[in-house]
Amino acid sequence: MAAIGSAVGLGNVWRFPYVCYKNGGGAFLIPYLIALFTAGIPLMILEFSLGHWSRSPPPLAFKKVNKKLEWVGWLSSLTPFVVASYYVVVMAWCFAYMVYSVNLLWEPDAENFFFNFLGKTSGISEIGGISIPVLLGLIAVWLSIFIILYKGVDRIGKVVAITVPLPTILLIILTIRGLTLPGAIEGVSYYLTPDFSKLLNVNVWLSAYAQVFFSLSLAQGILITYASYLRRDSDISNNAFITSLADAGTSFLAGFTVFSVVGYLAYVKNVDINHLGIAGPHLTFITYPTAISLLPFASAIFGMIFYIALLTFGIDSAFSMIEPMASSLNRKWRISKFKATAIICLVGFIASLFFTTGSGIYWLDIVDHFIANFGLVAVGLLECITLGYLYKVSLFREHANKTSDIRIGRWWDLLIRYVVPSILVMLLILSIVENLKKPYMGFPVYALIIAGVLPIVFIVIASFVLQRVKR
Ligand code: PHE
């Protein structure tokens, strides 16, 4: 349940529907499902198996594989920590918007979201002041993360029993509301009308793999950490299938939620859907609330439901990003869980303050772009190479098979050793080429280095340092 909570997050609501629409609509489901079965599920089985076999958080798990590899574990625990530093900021925006929706205080337009609410400055070099509503939201989110994590895994279990089913139910309610609006059918046909010619484009396939990676929380040390808490007789493969399919199902459903309402907005405003923001912050804080505010009745309630759903979807992804570091510090140096969690949440809070300023949204965009396109892919690649070649990967398969109903065959070894790494290498090369061709979004090069390259360099160095510090 916690793994599902980690996987299902903002990525399912604001990323999948859009990626699907852009890459061939209904036809995209083919590369997506292929990516899920050839990379997502196999890698998840590997991570679950490693965590379950070693009963340790990532650094110690990798160390059990090979003494020299502890740093790979640190790297895979530090990466999600960087993701957390901005992911919680987006949750803080949701938090503030949830409060606003009580009496529809928002003026849902771009002007208001960017300039009044975020205090967005005219360019990245102008820092601007801290946005107070965002700061308050941020404190609330970090505090919740701390309270959920510091007592250990039992509390995580109790929390996810609520925060996983609840937003799913809310999403279903919103979908039913959306689908009964005029224009909804046009919206949905935008989402799903298949364009099979897109399947000839290699970028569409890479997008499918990238989406699967991000959405399943792979290569983040999270699934390794969670699996280390499982009972000895827990079913590995079954859990991997359930987690992945639940995540894919939620993404698919969210497409209906989003596009039905976007279709309604296009209908009311009599514009083409293409002119509306249908992904990322634009969708969540401008387009969707605009549509909601135009509902014939109970718009405040549906607005609240939407933000509560996002917050509860997001919170278990957010704390899952912290848990690998907390668990690793706790296990390597016997720092109490309370202290370890406190230190990490405090450092995380300070780091995320960076994103509450007027230029925060620019920085957030850059960090996200680099860590999602390089960090995640590179860690995944390292995992496949280290576990696939330096260790007999078949031993992990045998470990998983010992307790699993679904028995995996030799084909799995081939996927981990050849298929997944080749795809990751392609993804990596493609990103590098694109980023070298022109600076991302036209940002100044110094900003790309500070926010894109430095965090990655920093976590690589930190990983080696953490490996060297004696127990
Ligand atoms: N899978 C989460 C989502 O779809 C995001 C996430 C990324 C969580 C990386 C953990 C680690 O929103």
Examine the pLDDT at 36 and tell me if it is beyond 90: yes
Q: What percentage of the chain's residues is helix, strand, coil (to nearest 5)?
A: 80, 0, 20
Examine the pLDDT at 341 and tell me if it is beyond 90: yes
Amino acid at 299: S
Task: Give me 8's structure tokens.
Answer: 């299902």
Q: How many CA atoms lie within 13 A of 89 on its CB side?
A: 28
Examine the pLDDT at 87 and tell me if it is beyond 90: yes
How many Å lie between the centroid of ligand 1 and the Cα of residue 267?
33
Q: How far apart are CA 271 and CA 332, in angstroms?
A: 57
* Ligand 1 contact via 167 beta carbon (within 6 Å): no
Examine the pLDDT at 43 and tell me if it is beyond 70: yes
Any residues with CB less than 8 A from the CB of 422 and at least 6 apart, and which? Answer: none
Query: pLDDT at position 278, please?
Result: 87
Report CA 230 to chain centroid distance, whole Å.
23
Instruction: Work out the mean pLDDT of the chain and round it to a whole number.
Output: 93
Asked which of 83-97, 99-113, 298-312, 373-387 is least confident by mean pLDDT, the reply is 99-113
Residue 470 pLDDT grade (very low, low, confident, very high; cuts 50, 70, 90): confident
* Ligand 1 contact via 57 beta carbon (within 6 Å): no
How many Å lie between the centroid of ligand 1 and the Cα of residue 268?
33
* Nearest partner of 426 among 96, 121, 39, 145, judged by Cα: 39
How many Å lie between the centroid of ligand 1 and the Cα of residue 108?
26
Spatial contact of 353 and 138, defined as CB atoms under 8 Å apart = yes
User: Could you identify the residue written with the tokens 């031993």?
Assistant: 395
* Ligand 1 contact via 217 beta carbon (within 6 Å): yes
Amino acid at 333: W
| Helix 393-403 and helix 236-269, axial crossing angle in degrees, nearest 10 | 90
* Ligand 1 contact via 320 beta carbon (within 6 Å): yes
Query: pLDDT at position 117, please?
Result: 86
Spatial contact of 439 and 392, defined as CB atoms under 8 Å apart = no
Examine the pLDDT at 226 and tell me if it is beyond 90: yes
Give pLDDT tens digits for 103-155.
766 666 778 888 888 889 989 989 999 999 999 999 999 999 999 999 999 99
Rounded mean pLDDT, 42-46: 96
Query: pLDDT at position 355, please?
Result: 95
Residue 206 pLDDT grade (very low, low, confident, very high; cuts 50, 70, 90): confident
- pTM (2 d.p.): 0.94
Q: How far apart are CA 216 and CA 208, in angstroms?
A: 12
Residue 351 pLDDT grade (very low, low, confident, very high; cuts 50, 70, 90): very high
Beta-bridge partner residues of 357: 130
Task: Give me 471's structure tokens.
Answer: 């127990």
- Backbone φ, ψ for residue 368 (5° rounding): -60, -45
Q: How far apart are CA 65 and CA 70, in angstroms?
A: 9
Query: pLDDT at position 348, please?
Result: 97
Examine the pLDDT at 182 and tell me if it is beyond 90: yes
- Backbone φ, ψ for residue 269 (5° rounding): -85, -10
Report CA 56 to chain centroid distance, whole Å.
23
Which residue of 77, 87, 223 sits with most ligand 1 atoms within 8 Å of its CB, as the best mutation to test the pocket? Answer: 87
Residue 82 pLDDT grade (very low, low, confident, very high; cuts 50, 70, 90): very high
Residue nearest to atom 11 of ligand 1 (CA): 217
Examine the pLDDT at 246 and tell me if it is beyond 90: yes
* Ligand 1 contact via 317 beta carbon (within 6 Å): yes
CATH number at residue 102: 1.20.1740.10
Q: How far apart are CA 29 and CA 393, in angstroms?
A: 30
Query: pLDDT at position 54, please?
Result: 96
Rounded mean pLDDT, 429-436: 89
Spatial contact of 13 and 273, defined as CB atoms under 8 Å apart = no
Amino acid at 469: V
Spatial contact of 168 and 4, defined as CB atoms under 8 Å apart = no
Angle at 11 between CA 10 and CA 16, to 5 degrees: 130
Rounded mean pLDDT, 267-293: 89
Which residue of 317, 320, 367, 376 sits with most ligand 1 atoms within 8 Å of its CB, as the best mutation to test the pocket? Answer: 317
Rounded mean pLDDT, 285-309: 91
> How many other CB atoms are found less than 10 A from the CB of residue 302?
22
> How many other CB atoms are found less than 10 A from the CB of residue 301?
15
Q: Residue 430: which domain range?
A: 2-468
Share of the chain above pLDDT 70, in %: 99
Q: How far apart are CA 401 and CA 233, in angstroms?
A: 11
Q: How far apart are CA 324 and CA 246, in angstroms?
A: 22
How many Å lie between the centroid of ligand 1 and the Cα of residue 468?
29
What stretch of H or E contains 273?
none
> How many other CB atoms are found less than 10 A from the CB of residue 427?
23
Amino acid at 155: R
Q: How far apart are CA 190 and CA 262, in angstroms?
A: 10
Asked which of 3-12, 58-67, 109-118, 337-346 is least confident by mean pLDDT, the reply is 109-118
Examine the pLDDT at 198 and tell me if it is beyond 70: yes
Q: How far apart are CA 80 and CA 372, in angstroms?
A: 10
Rounded mean pLDDT, 69-90: 96
Q: How far apart are CA 24 and CA 32, in angstroms?
A: 11
Rg over alpha carbons for the chain, rounded to the nearest Å, is: 21
Share of the chain above pLDDT 90, in %: 81
How many Å lie between the centroid of ligand 1 and the Cα of residue 295?
31
How many Å lie between the centroid of ligand 1 and the Cα of residue 87?
9
* Ligand 1 contact via 12 beta carbon (within 6 Å): yes
Domain count of the chain? 1
* Ligand 1 contact via 83 beta carbon (within 6 Å): yes
From residue 17, how far is each of 269, 273, 371, 415 by CA, in Å?
A: 21, 13, 21, 27
Task: Give me 17's structure tokens.
Answer: 């529907």
* Ligand 1 contact via 7 beta carbon (within 6 Å): yes
Q: How far apart are CA 216 and CA 62, in angstroms?
A: 21
Query: pLDDT at position 104, please?
Result: 66
Amino acid at 314: G
Amino acid at 428: L
Query: pLDDT at position 328, please?
Result: 97
